[in-house]
Each structure stands twice: as structure tokens, then as C-alpha cells.
């Protein structure tokens, strides 16, 4: 059950809103509902967007900035823009090429993919499609951790992303009510039939052994790769992740699809940045929809952002071209705002460039 993306030749997208609208037109109703939904009563889903409305960018007229540099790097991975794509699973639901197309778009734009464990294509297939972009392999803290991490490294990836907030799927009411039951093949790109337990089948049975930080510390130490702890919402968890050896923190509430109600990622970002105190990079996902959102996240301390739904919208709207246009439009808006705020480069997008919105 996949969407039919718009013909790229006819997809002259000039705004991210056009891409979103095209995606919803292209997707079957049940797939669109799955993509747009969150856990519980979707308070967290709404809070993620509302959090960005509480901040404003402080213009800096006559700054002399005309050609800001949007490039940066995370874990030694060069990025033309401080944006990576998220490891959203079931990517074949949104376009036949799924994360193959996402990675090719990232390579063309000079950014990078976090490639999912529960995706339609294997780590090796995505890496073969775009080795320059397929740099981070995502996996779960599960019995097969060592064997999966070994496959990620063998495929040429240079870092891991460990999802720590998903020992069980969130209670996703809207998806339950729709009775959405996609073909398991869309989640099974990394399933190997050698008797090794795999997270795809485990999630299907909704029985997952929950790990502790101690166990993750031991498992991660056996891998010769840096790793990102994805799914951090508190300073305590950030401290525990660093103690476990994490090389970066990804502040995330899983796009509002796990705990509901939970704090918006942007709301907790400044406190986590203060706790981390520069020891490792801090990334943010959940709720990012515009270049202005990227600017605000950077100003509040994120080193980069990770986009999930935005990338899926682009994929559903026009495959690789749609993802590429999504990244291009984010870049264009971010660059415009950097000029208006007088910030010549990414390190200059600092707390002083934003302020709390005045109450009405």
C-alpha cells in the first residue's frame, strides 16, 4: 500500500505548504492518517508546534550580512545545512523508493540520512543508493543489537543512532481507530531469516524487553562507532545517556507518537543544552516544519535538527525531487532569516538572536 508521488516534472513547489498539500493528496486516506497522527489525545503532537510560537527572531538591521554560511558538521559528518532526515519507518508507504530516494536527495543537497532499522530497505541498499548521505544507522536497544550494529558498520556507516524511548509502541488512538494494518514488508528491509530475533517481529507482537542504561552502556561499548541517544526529554536522561557513552543527544518526543502528554521538544531543549554544557552535540526533532523553526532550534542551543514528517511529505509528494525541494526550501528560508537577523554563520545563531514572544 504505497502512494503515487506527483510527477517530478510537474512539481514546481515554491513553498513547504505546497509539498504538504501534495503529499496528502497523493496518499491513501489511511496512510495520511497514520502519518499525521500521534499518541493518546495528541496533546504532544500539538504542543510540538505550539512551542515554536512562543519565540520570535530579533531582526538586526544594517548588519552587512548578505551571504550567510549555513554549513556545519555533526559527528564529523559535513552538512551544507544543519538538518538531517529522521529514521522514519515504513517508508515504502509514502513512495516506492522510500529511504533510497531520501538518501539520494540528501546527497544531492549535501546533508545526511539517519537510516531506520524498521524501514522498507536494508542499511546496505540505502548506502548503495547514496553512500555520501547514508552515514548514520538507527537501531533499537534489543537482543539483536550487536549483530545489527555489525551490519550497519559493514555497510559503511560512520555512526549509530539508538532509539531509547521506544521499548513499546505509544498508545496511538487514531491509528487504532482506523484499523490501519499495512503490509509488514514496509517495515522489514533489515529482517534477516537466520534465527536472529528482530525488532520488526517483536513490535508486531508488542512484546519488547526493556533495557537499562547499564546494559546499553555495555552493548554500545562493544561497537567501534560513535552513537546518538535519540528520545531524550529530560536533563536526567541526557546525563544518563552521556554516562552511557553517547556521542550526541537527540532531544525528541518521537514526533508526539510515544508519551502523551509529554513536553514539547523545543520547550525542554534549553535546559538539556545547559546540562550537556558542550560535552556532546545536541540535536532536536519533533515539530520542525519551517526554516524559521530550524533557526529557533539553533538559537536555543541545538547543533542541528532532524526532520521526519517534513521528509515524508516530500517523499509522498514527489519522491526524491520532493525531498530535495523540501531541503532546498528549508535552506532558502533559513538563509533569508540569517540575513535579516545579521547572523553570518551557524555558530552566530545564538540565544541573543531570539526572544520570548510578548504576551497578548
Identify the pLDDT of residue 52.
98
Cα maximum dimension of the chain: 65
Q: Is 60:341 a contact under the CB 8 Å cutoff?
A: yes
pTM: 0.94
Residue carrying C-alpha cell 508507504: 93
Tens digit of pLDDT for each residue in 288-308?
A: 999 999 999 999 999 999 999
Q: What is the pLDDT of residue 280?
A: 98
Reported as type and span, the H/E element at residue 355 is: strand 354-356
- Residue 44's nearest CA partner among 231, 283, 287 is 287
| CB-based contact 84:136 (threshold 8 Å) | yes
The secondary structure of the chain in percent helix, strand, coil, rounded to multiples of 5, reads 45, 15, 40
Domain residue limits, the chain: 8-356
What pLDDT score does 9 carry? 45
| Phi/psi at 193 (5° precision) | -100, 65
- pLDDT, residue 1, reads 47
- Residues 6+ away with beta carbon under 8 Å from 78: 71, 110
By annotation, the residues acting in catalysis are 254
User: How high is the pLDDT of residue 172?
Assistant: 86
- Domain topology for 8-356: TIM Barrel (3.20.20)
The three grid cell numbers given for residue 276, joined into one nine-digit string: 550537556
Residue spans of the chain under pLDDT 50: 1, 9
What b/e string do you get for 261-276 counting C-beta neighbours within 10 Å, with b at 16 or more?
ebbbbbbbbeebbebb
User: What number of residues does the chain have?
Assistant: 360
pLDDT for 168:
82
Amino acid at each position: 500500500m504505497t502512494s503515487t508521488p506527483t510527477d517530478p516534472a510537474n512539481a514546481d513547489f515554491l513553498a513547504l505548504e505546497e509539498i504538504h498539500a501534495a503529499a496528502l493528496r497523493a496518499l491513501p486516506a489511511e496512510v495520511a492518517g497514520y502519518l499525521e497522527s500521534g499518541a493518546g489525545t495528541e496533546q504532544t503532537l500539538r504542543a510540538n508546534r505550539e512551542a515554536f510560537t512562543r519565540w520570535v527572531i530579533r531582526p538586526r538591521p544594517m548588519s552587512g550580512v548578505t551571504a550567510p554560511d549555513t554549513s556545519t558538521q555533526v559527528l564529523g559528518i559535513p552538512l551544507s545545512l544543519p538538518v538531517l532526515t529522521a529514521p522514519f519507518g515504513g517508508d515504502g508507504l509514502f513512495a516506492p523508493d522510500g529511504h533510497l530516494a531520501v538518501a539520494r536527495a540528501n546527497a544531492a543537497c549535501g546533508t545526511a540520512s539517519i537510516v531506520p532499522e524498521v524501514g522498507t530497505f536494508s542499511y546496505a541498499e540505502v548506502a548503495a543508493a547514496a553512500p555520501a548521505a547514508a552515514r548514520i544507522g538507527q537501531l533499537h536497544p534489543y537482543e539483536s543489537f550487536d549483530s545489527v550494529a555489525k551490519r550497519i558498520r559493514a555497510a559503511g556507516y560512520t555512526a549509530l543512532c539508538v532509539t531509547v524511548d521506544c521499548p513499546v509502541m505509544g498508545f496511538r488512538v487514531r491509528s487504532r481507530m482506523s484499523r490501519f494494518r499495512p503490509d509488514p514488508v514496509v517495515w522489514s528491509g533489515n529482517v534477516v531469516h537466520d534465527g536472529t530475533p528482530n525488532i520488526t517481529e517483536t513490535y508486531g507482537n508488542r512484546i519488547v524487553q526493556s533495557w537499562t542504561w547499564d546494559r546499553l552502556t555495555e552493548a554500545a561499548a562493544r561497537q567501534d562507532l560513535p552513537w546518538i541517544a535519540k528520545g531524550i526529554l529530560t536533563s536526567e536522561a541526557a546525563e544518563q545517556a552521556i554516562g552511557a557513552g553517547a556521542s550526541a543527544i537527540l532531544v525528541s518526543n518521537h514526533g508526539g507518537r510515544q508519551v502523551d502528554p509529554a513536553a514539547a521538544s523545543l520547550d525542554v531543549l534549553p535546559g538539556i543544552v545547559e546540562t550537556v554544557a558542550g560535552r556532546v552535540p545536541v540535536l532536536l526533532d519533533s515539530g520542525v516544519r519551517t526554516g524559521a523553526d530550524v533557526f529557533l532550534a539553533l538559537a536555543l542551543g541545538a547543533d542541528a535538527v532532524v526532520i521526519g514528517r517534513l521528509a515524508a511529505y516530500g517523499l509522498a509528494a514527489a519522491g526524491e525531487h520532493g525531498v530535495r525541494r523540501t531541503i532546498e526550501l528549508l535552506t532558502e528560508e533559513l538563509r533569508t532569516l540569517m540575513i535579516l537577523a545579521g547572523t553570518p554563520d551557524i555558530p552566530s545563531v545564538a540565544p541573543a538572536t531570539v526572544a520570548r514572544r510578548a504576551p497578548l
